[in-house]
């Protein structure tokens, strides 16, 4: 049967909670930070088969006649803010990658900005307990109101100056100034930090990144508190930072991240400003659409991947696969039945399914997600 269980390729980044993913799925307790579970063939952290440790890419070559996937599937478990960041478009990634390669910047260098030639659009869907994030630029009036609420009746000349800059020249100019190193920026950050308890977002970023200009930039973005099943879709150039919670994430198979602050990693201010878009707009949310039966699908428009979701009791759904798929059971128990047999997926199990197994019947109770090529 062209189905295989995947191993636990966990990223132990410091922003992950201690044993967070193990706790989420009921695995054996772990005291290591667990930030992400990668499910795919990206060279940074490629999946292996749990049966023998062989690479997923070899399995794909055997059953799909190729070794790549047009997506990378993850489980996220941050307990502190991730970096303020943006991702490039395909054109920007190709240009940046080629320029850094020509300049002989090593691929594993901490200062390398473009590690591949691909865009990195990201779909994030909250799991049990919800997920908190900053994503997209909010309207100037909303930011001004938030800054004034933080200032209250206090004498805050630096915050007042930031408000005047926003109202006079817009968000882009304000961000460039905040990242410029101008001495006045330190005064703004000091006034905000002294009043951090007045705003939840401000309190979180000040706790972990005191003195960082990203503290002020965070207030220019939409705060998004996703309930389970609610989703964000972050396209090229959209500034964002994930804060906390549990989520599944589906993206293009890229590792291109340009950081503007709120991190101990390399920050390239000019590269961040060159890619980021600061036009105010609505929350970058994405709603699922009903498919067959009780299946719903998150389909980012124009991209070669989608995420399907099935949840409930006594389910029995027949699904046509559109390409090699990775299924993840986040609760309950399911039988995955294809033309040549069946396997059992329980909470915390991930399986890769070849398109040759289509149609697949998902039978059971709980919650199941599967990433597929379009």
Contact 240/86 with Cβ under 8 angstroms?
yes
Class (C level, CATH) for 3-134+224-275: mainly beta
Please state, rounded to an integer, the average pLDDT across all residues of the chain.
96
Over 90: is that where the pLDDT of 216 sits?
yes
* Residues noted as catalytic: 259
Tens of pLDDT, residue by residue over 14-43, are 999 999 999 999 999 999 999 999 999 998
Q: Which residues contact 347 (CB under 8 A, 6 or more apart)?
A: 25, 26, 329, 330, 331, 332, 333, 366
- Helix, strand, coil shares of the chain, percent, nearest 5, are 25, 35, 40
User: How far is CA 228 from each of CA 6, 267, 291, 367, 368, rounded to the nearest angstrom?
Assistant: 24, 32, 19, 11, 13
Q: Which residues contact 109 (CB under 8 A, 6 or more apart)?
A: none
What's the CA gap between 194 and 202, in Å, rounded? 10
Tens of pLDDT, residue by residue over 253-309, are 998 999 999 999 999 999 999 999 999 999 999 999 999 899 999 999 889 899 999
> What pLDDT, on a 0 to 100 scale, did the predictor assign at position 374?
78
Tens of pLDDT, residue by residue over 45-89, are 999 999 999 999 999 999 998 999 999 999 999 999 999 999 999
What's the CA gap between 73 and 257, in Å, rounded? 17
Homologous superfamily, domain 289-373: Jelly Rolls (2.60.120.10)
Domain boundaries, the chain: 3-134+224-275, 139-218, 289-373
> What pLDDT, on a 0 to 100 scale, did the predictor assign at position 302?
87
**Phi and psi (nearest 5°) for 23?**
-65, -40
Tens of pLDDT, residue by residue over 342-365, are 999 999 999 999 999 999 999 999
> What pLDDT, on a 0 to 100 scale, did the predictor assign at position 354?
96
Tens of pLDDT, residue by residue over 130-179, are 999 999 999 999 999 999 999 999 999 999 999 999 999 999 999 999 99
Over 90: is that where the pLDDT of 13 sits?
yes
> What pLDDT, on a 0 to 100 scale, did the predictor assign at position 186?
97
Contact 233/125 with Cβ under 8 angstroms?
no
Q: Please give the share of the chain, as a percent, with pLDDT higher than 90.
A: 94
Intrachain domains 3-134+224-275 and 289-373 with the same fold: yes
Q: How far apart are the first and last CA of the chain?
A: 23
**Phi and psi (nearest 5°) for 33?**
-65, 130
**Bridge partners (DSSP) listed for residue 49:** 6
Over 80: is that where the pLDDT of 1 sits?
no
> What pLDDT, on a 0 to 100 scale, did the predictor assign at position 340?
84
> What pLDDT, on a 0 to 100 scale, did the predictor assign at position 241?
97
Global pTM value: 0.95
């Amino acid at each position: 049967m062209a189905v295989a269980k995947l191993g636990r390729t966990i990223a132990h980044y410091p922003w992950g909670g201690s044993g967070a993913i193990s706790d989420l799925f009921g695995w054996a307790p772990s005291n290591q930070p667990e930030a992400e579970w990668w499910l795919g063939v990206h060279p940074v952290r490629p999946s292996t088969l749990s049966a023998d440790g062989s690479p997923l890419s070899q399995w794909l070559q055997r059953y799909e006649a190729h070794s790549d996937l047009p997506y990378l599937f993850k489980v996220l478990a941050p307990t502190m803010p991730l970096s303020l960041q943006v991702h490039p478009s395909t054109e920007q990634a190709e240009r940046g990658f080629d320029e850094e390669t020509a300049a002989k910047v090593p691929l594993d260098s901490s200062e390398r900005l473009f590690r591949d030639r691909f865009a990195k659009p990201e779909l994030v869907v909250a799991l049990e307990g919800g997920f908190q994030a900053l994503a997209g630029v909010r309207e100037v009036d909303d930011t001004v109101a938030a800054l004034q609420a933080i200032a209250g009746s206090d004498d805050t000349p630096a915050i007042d100056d930031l408000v005047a800059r926003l109202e006079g020249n817009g968000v882009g100019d304000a961000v460039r100034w905040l990242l410029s190193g101008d001495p006045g920026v330190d005064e703004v950050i000091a006034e905000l930090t002294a009043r951090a308890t007045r705003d939840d977002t401000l309190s979180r970023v000040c706790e972990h990144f005191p003195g960082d200009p990203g503290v002020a930039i965070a207030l220019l973005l939409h705060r998004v508190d996703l309930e389970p099943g609610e989703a964000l879709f972050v396209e090229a150039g959209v500034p964002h930072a994930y804060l906390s919670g549990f989520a599944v994430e589906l993206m293009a198979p890229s590792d291109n991240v340009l950081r503007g602050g709120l991190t101990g990693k390399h920050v390239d201010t000019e590269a961040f400003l060159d890619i980021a878009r600061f036009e105010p707009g609505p929350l970058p949310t994405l709603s699922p659409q009903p498919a067959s039966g009780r299946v719903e699908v998150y389909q980012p428009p124009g991209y070669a991947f989608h995420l399907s979701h099935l949840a409930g009791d006594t389910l029995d759904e027949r699904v046509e696969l559109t390409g090699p798929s990775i299924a993840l059971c986040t609760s309950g128990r399911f039988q995955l039945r294809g033309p040549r047999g069946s396997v059992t997926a329980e909470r915390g199990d991930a399986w890769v399914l070849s398109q040759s197994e289509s149609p697949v019947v998902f039978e059971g109770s709980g919650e199941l997600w599967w990433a597929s090529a379009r």
